[in-house]
Structure 1
Amino acid sequence: MKIPILFEDNHLLLVEKPINVPVQADRSGDLDLLTILKNDIKERYQKTGNVYLGLVHRLDRPVGGAMVFAKTSKAASRLSDMFRRQAVKRKYFAVVHGIPRKKKGKLAHYLLKDNRKNKVSVVSPNHPKAKKAVLDYEVIESRKGFSLLSVKLHTGRPHQIRVQLSKMGNPIFGDQKYGEHLSKPRQQLALWAYSIYFEHPVRKEPLGIESAPPNDYPWEFMRDYIK
């Protein structure tokens, strides 16, 4: 599998994650992105022995788009700290069912993950294991009963965007977990990580990349509004 490289230097590797590929090895046993990239680096640079590649954030398996990996431990440590401090700006496109009541807004919920079911639910702020999740959204266009949203993450909780938009009443197209009453079997989740901006962890220069979603349904009829 050939992974599109969006940016690379001695410290960083930024790529476009394909949909339905796990970021790292899981119980499915399917080939994962981290292994693919390590093998690619080993082949391209004719490296012997193990290849270091630091995983500093994740995307859900059905989600595609921009991801950053660290090629050195120094970059990995600094990037991890930047993610903790919310100094990495990430934006997503999502095609959701219906039209949100507000053109733009901020969503804040407390989430709890059931690891056995691999599903997240919204719970009371008083729950001892709840974690706060915050995002901003803006409706870019609404057509044919769907809306294209730009979503900016402030926290990085598992399934966060999917859960919060569903709780708002606008589940993402193709979401089999949080929009099963609207999604049909085998529909592809319409959530895409389209941009990531941060300060280079070593050079201290601004760095940003963008990645366009595929030209498939339902993205195709929103193509004119995706910039």
Structure 2
Amino acid sequence: MALHSNKNNLQVLFEDNHIIVVNKRAGDIVQGDKTGDTPLSEVVKEYIKDKYNKPGNVYLGVVHRLDRPTTGIVLFAKTSKALPRLNKLFKDKDAKKTYWAIVKNKPEKTTDKLVHWMKRNPKQNKSYAHKNEVPDSKKAILEYQVLQSLNNYHLLEIDLETGRHHQIRSQLSSIGSPIKGDLKYGFDRSNKDGSIHLHARKLEFEHPVKKEKISIIAPLPKDSLWDACV
């Protein structure tokens, strides 16, 4: 199974008084759920408490989430001043999120904009991409381009315009290009460590307090297929 993050191996990509950005491992869950596993948010709190010898509770706000088998950038707010500003930034789509995905079946077009209507099935914890609007669906938009083709796999770069549940996984599956290891969305077998080859590669946003432009790139997981892409 995938290695989980802890306070000693946490991959911190950026940190100041107001925000902290970490590189999530495939086994990490961002917020607590019914599994009862320690979420990444608690690991980050423990890291901050330990690093700065903070007494009492540590404040940490969860700004956005990544699916458990996905790797890459997760941004947290360290202050109550930063959290609502970051929430607004994401709500207003002022944060630019770029993902990398490895798929087996090359999409028909080298670059394209995908527009679907996503409908979530909570019982299955799965979202379905429809060509036309259906009841209780939400519009989902992404743009992708094929960055390179390996012998059996293809690396896609994805710019996410909306942030729907399982959006990239479902939309790529709907065009016949499920992500490597993503059994739930049509790939033929899972990865040994339970991961999928979807990585939150880059995040660009304005600092909630300093108003400076921040651009962060997350290193790829140690994996022969990812290694072949860079």
TM range (shorter): over 0.9
Aligned to 1:183: 189
Aligned to 2:214: 207
Aligned to 1:11: 18
Aligned to 2:3: none
Shift of 1:124: 5.8
Aligned to 1:40: 47
Instruction: Calculate the aligned-residue CA RMSD, in Å.
Output: 1.4
Aligned to 1:99: 106
Between the two proteins, the alignment pairs up a number of residues equal to: 222
| Cα distance in structure 2, aligned partners of 1:101 and 1:137 | 12
Shift of 1:217: 3.6
| Cα distance in structure 1, aligned partners of 2:136 and 2:224 | 38
Matches within 5 A, 1:71-90: 71-90=78-97
TM-score, scaled to structure 2 = 0.92
Matches within 5 A, 1:57-68: 57-68=64-75
Maintained 8 Å contact 2:127/2:166? yes
What amino acid is aligned across from residue 59 of structure 2 in structure 1?
Y
Shift of 1:220: 2.6
Aligned to 1:194: 201
| Cα distance in structure 2, aligned partners of 1:215 and 1:54 | 28
| Cα distance in structure 2, aligned partners of 1:204 and 1:194 | 22
* Structure 2 counterpart SS, 1:174: coil
* Structure 1 counterpart SS, 2:185: coil
TM-score, scaled to structure 1 = 0.93
| Cα distance in structure 1, aligned partners of 2:33 and 2:186 | 24
Aligned to 2:169: 162
| Cα distance in structure 2, aligned partners of 1:190 and 1:113 | 22
* Structure 2 counterpart SS, 1:221: helix
What amino acid is aligned across from residue 139 of structure 1 in structure 2?
V
Maintained 8 Å contact 1:90/1:197? yes
In structure 2, list runs of 5 or more residues that go unmatched. 1-5
Over 3 Å counting, the alpha-carbon distance change for 1:28 and 1:46 in structure 2 is: same
